[in-house]
Chain A
Amino acid sequence: MIHFTRRDQRTMKNSSALLSLLLVASAPAASAADGKLVIEADAVVTLTGETIENGKIVIVDGRITAIGADVDAPWDAEHLDASGLIAYPGFVEAITSSGMDRPNENVDVAPFLDVRDSIDPVNAYFEDALRSGVTTLNIQQGPLCVVGARGHVVKPVGRTVEEMSIKPRAGVVLSAAPKRGKSRATQAQALRGAFGDLRRYLEKTVAEAKAGNDYAKREAMYQGREPDEESAKGRDLECSAWNVEGMKLVPRWEIDEKQAPLVSLVEGRIPAFIYCQNAMDVRVAIEIAESNGFLHKTTLVVTQDCDRAVELIAERGLPVIILGSLTRSEIDEETDEMEEIFIPKVYADAGVRFALRSNNATTQSLAYQAARCVAHGMSREDAMRAISVTPAEIIGVAKRVGSLSVGMDGNVVLYSGDPFSVEGVVQRVIIEGEAVYDRATDVRVRHLEQGETPDNTEPTDPEASEDDEAKDDEEEKEG
């Protein structure tokens, strides 16, 4: 083995990091000339109707303007020859806390935080998303909270969060599963307490407004807010579960930034994603949502054996996002017999809408998860829907992404075969009419798949680590 000095290895590491940066950040291959692109593929799978053989997709200014075998393309459009490939809509990751600085905060009730401040555009996670055909991601905080930050729906390309943004302030996470250090009882009480605090705050604010006190206004100005035409007005609370009289007296812009997102929540304006770890949590989640008026905007994010509460979920008509393993086993203590349960099927059989979530971008990608549903007896259509249309609906972006039809975002993934098959590999990705990924130039995929290192140098010593580099620096100082 050729021995490299530490410095060489660092350089090689840096250059590979640089390369991945370039891949994400630079404008790659074919960018649509004047925002017009025509894709011609062997087949176009729209997920709204039939598959179109020899289909064409026309994208202008980021939106699909035509799909079909025989459509008129603008004379000055860029052509992307995708013969031999099949076009699919980009898949939708229903919820994720990857790609952020850190997925969880210490503060229990933190809806005033926004994941926008935490998203890291050069995180390899977004590059992985492209590689596995995911073009829309719902970035939310992790489950270690009582009420978490506001989320953000993004596409996995862009140098800044603004460039990546599809839908800001996209809902709030809550957790019925206990945060570290809490028991289920204290978690449930903390949830109730958060909304109790909200009520008390609103009542106090109304009382102060009635008393002619301008404390709220001063506090709002101190927090750096300014009223606009809409928010300068007060209005009655529109919560279906409880009320605070006199909210009309309080101009909306004056509401404390810590409480304002919760007001939106109880007024049913923003989606809620409630993490549940088991059936007990489902009950708590439903109670909290129901008693605070946002059940109709709630999606349960379920793991482990929440499916035991499937009847409760079906009764309320709630959709779910399934995290973690798709299979679990139950062992009958008396008979010692083991039963294997395929979780998505439990929900499907009960008529509950469900979305899948990838566990990684390779061995358990989104397409993999859906393929396993087929392996367990679900139809292709149902499986496909769980990684496209359903998550798009849950997130509230179904008019833009999740399927291919006129008016929707031009998010197209070109596969070399059926995405559920061994041959089905992502070759090209187009997001809003821009070609943003080409497998042929993907350095990292060659590394993962064939072990090639960037710029074809010799393999790096796997034992080089940050500790070694620190020691190295010391040695160099001494030497």
Chain B
Amino acid sequence: MLQLALLLVAPAAASDVVVVRADHLYLGHGEPIENGVLVVSDGKVTAAGVGVKAPAGAVVIEHEGWVTPGLFGAFTMDGIGSERRDDTRPLMPEARIVHSLRPRTAALARNLRAGVTTITINPDTGRPCSGASALVKTHGAKVVDAELQLCLDISYGAVKADEHPTSLASLRELLDDVLSEGAGSFGRAASGELPVIIRARDRQSLRAAASLAKGHGLRGAIFGSYWAEELVDEVAASGLGVVCDPVGVATNHRALRSVLALAAGGVDISFGLVTPANPPENLRVGAAMCVREGLDPNIALAAMTGTAAKVSGAGDQAGIIAVGRDADFVLWSGSPIELSSSLEEVWVDGHRVHGGDDE
């Protein structure tokens, strides 16, 4: 990917400006920039790259370590307590999980302390369509997008014994029909306006998800990578990215191989945060496990930042350091995918909100 070239913007009042010089500056895509410089003003990024001159009077931070965009947490159910899903009907496309969000929950703070500055909050899977997810900043629970993705489930988890659909065949048919009819949110999904996230749990449902997406021209993601190893071509042909099942320390080789196979097959991958079931610290652990198994470190980094946001349909709103974007970034003692590195500071909207001398 491209490195940002030197870009000097008209300086704002010197006291608002923060400049961070880091041994390694990672922008959320491409390769890390050595001796990179980041300039922040009024909560936004005004410059990032090499050879950037610090405006006079700016606060300059010399960081011996790495700076990355705030990590992107894909597929969480934080802050919604037990109000995860409305079971009234199998299809509830107009339901929005954002209305279940309680802003002051500890889960969001914990995410922030792990370096995750933006998350998607999703309704639970287990119904053919459980509603729309939200894009939320972990600091202050600021809602960035109240209708981020349409959440679908095409796996055996969405088939019930006591309501339609009770068979996998009619589940498929149901989703096919509503996307073809194109009413409301389904119409916006079919037109590509509203990205989708489709839960798949086994090879049969992975195939079904890829086929559904291809057939209706959907964009967005499949959530469920564990069995993807054998089906990379089909997933790639669907045009969807993949939110990967969390990879932990003791994960077996199939999980790792699947992640690597997807990456090798040119599929955009995002590591799933999947809190609160999964500790947010595991995001880095999973990335490190994959790198140890052979994943390109830059792909691993992107899968926690820029590509992760893109796969979840939030590519315009989070995940990268770029001019004009919110200044959400993290200072690390080393590369975040080195488990020996520690998190030092978290900055959101141009202000340090965690770590450093204050704490």
Contact = CB atoms under 8 A, between A and B. Distances in A.
Contacts of A467: none
B312 to A, nearest CB: 30
Interface string B74-117: 00000000000000000000000000000000000000000000
Nearest to B257: A334
Contacts of A333: 252, 254
Interface in B244-267: 252-254
Contacts of B254: 333-334, 336
A337 to B, nearest CB: 12
B289 to A, nearest CB: 15
Interface string A336-361: 10000000000000000000000000
Interface residues of A, number: 3
Interface in A316-337: 333-334, 336
Nearest to A336: B254
A330 to B, nearest CB: 16
Interface in B217-266: 252-254
Interface string B338-355: 000000000000000000
Nearest to A334: B253
A106 to B, nearest CB: 37
A333 B250 CA distance: 14
B155 to A, nearest CB: 18
A333 B254 CA distance: 8
Contacts of A334: 252-254
A336 B258 CA distance: 14
B172 to A, nearest CB: 25
A336 B226 CA distance: 13
B316 to A, nearest CB: 40
Contacts, number: 6
Interface in A196-216: none
A333 B253 CA distance: 9
B261 to A, nearest CB: 14
A387 B125 CA distance: 55
Nearest to B229: A336
Interface in A450-478: none
A334 B258 CA distance: 12
Contacts of B252: 333-334
B257 to A, nearest CB: 9
Contacts of A336: 254
A333 B252 CA distance: 8
B9 to A, nearest CB: 53
Interface in A78-98: none
A334 to B, nearest CB: 5
A336 B203 CA distance: 13
Interface string B109-150: 000000000000000000000000000000000000000000
B206 to A, nearest CB: 15
Nearest to A333: B252
A333 B255 CA distance: 11
B228 to A, nearest CB: 14
B61 to A, nearest CB: 47
Interface string A217-260: 00000000000000000000000000000000000000000000
A334 B253 CA distance: 6
A124 B192 CA distance: 71
Contacts of B253: 334
A336 B252 CA distance: 12
A333 B257 CA distance: 13
B211 to A, nearest CB: 22
A363 B358 CA distance: 78
A338 to B, nearest CB: 15
B182 to A, nearest CB: 39
B249 to A, nearest CB: 17
A386 B254 CA distance: 42
A56 B252 CA distance: 65
A336 B253 CA distance: 11
A132 B23 CA distance: 83
A199 to B, nearest CB: 43
Interface in A385-401: none
B255 to A, nearest CB: 11
A18 to B, nearest CB: 47
A401 B359 CA distance: 85
A437 to B, nearest CB: 50
A335 to B, nearest CB: 9
Interface string A415-431: 00000000000000000
B165 to A, nearest CB: 28
A151 B169 CA distance: 56
Interface in B309-333: none
A336 B230 CA distance: 12
B245 to A, nearest CB: 15
A477 B253 CA distance: 71
A334 B257 CA distance: 10
B297 to A, nearest CB: 25
B137 to A, nearest CB: 39
A457 B253 CA distance: 65
A259 to B, nearest CB: 48
A336 B254 CA distance: 9
A334 B254 CA distance: 6
A67 to B, nearest CB: 61
A222 B253 CA distance: 67
Nearest to B253: A334
A334 B256 CA distance: 11
A4 B254 CA distance: 63
A292 to B, nearest CB: 39
A249 B12 CA distance: 105
A333 B226 CA distance: 13
Nearest to B227: A336
A102 to B, nearest CB: 36
A244 to B, nearest CB: 49
A58 to B, nearest CB: 67
A169 B139 CA distance: 76
A336 B202 CA distance: 13
Interface string A297-315: 0000000000000000000
6 contacts: A333-B252, A333-B254, A334-B252, A334-B253, A334-B254, A336-B254
Interface of B: 252-254
Interface of A: 333-334, 336
The 6 A-B pairs at the shortest CB distance, nearest first, are namely A334-B253, A333-B252, A334-B252, A334-B254, A333-B254, A336-B254
